[in-house]
Amino acid sequence: MEAQIGLAEIIFGTLGLGMFYIVLKRLELVWRHRKCVEDEVMNEYREGRLKEGQPDYEHLIAHLGNCEKCRDKMTQF
């Protein structure tokens, strides 16, 4: 017995793979933001050398929302 793959299965399979990819990318982003921010990056932010849209800026802002240790460090500067 031969199994035939229909158009619906191809579409749903493709959509499933796409959703899986999106979930993995989001998890990667969350995982990267768990890493504490380096002091140098915090200094660049304080001095205005870090601009919105830069990866370090995005990491810092996202991370500070989740890490009390780094928030305390920022207030000590």
| Burial of 76 per CB tally in 10 Å (0-12, 13-18, 19+) | exposed
Distance CA 39, CA 60 (A): 11
Domain ranges of the chain: 52-77
The predicted structure's pLDDT at residue 12: 93
Q: Give, as one character, the DSSP assignment of residue 31.
A: H
C-alpha 60: how far from its chain's center?
A: 11
At 14-72, the pLDDT tens digits run 999 999 999 999 888 777 767 899 999 999 999 999 999 999 998 899 889 888 999 99
| pLDDT score of 76 more than 90 | no
The model's confidence at residue 2, banded by pLDDT at 50, 70 and 90, is low
Q: What is the C-alpha separation between 35 and 71, in angstroms, rounded?
A: 13
**pTM for the full predicted model:** 0.57
Q: What is the pLDDT of residue 34?
A: 76
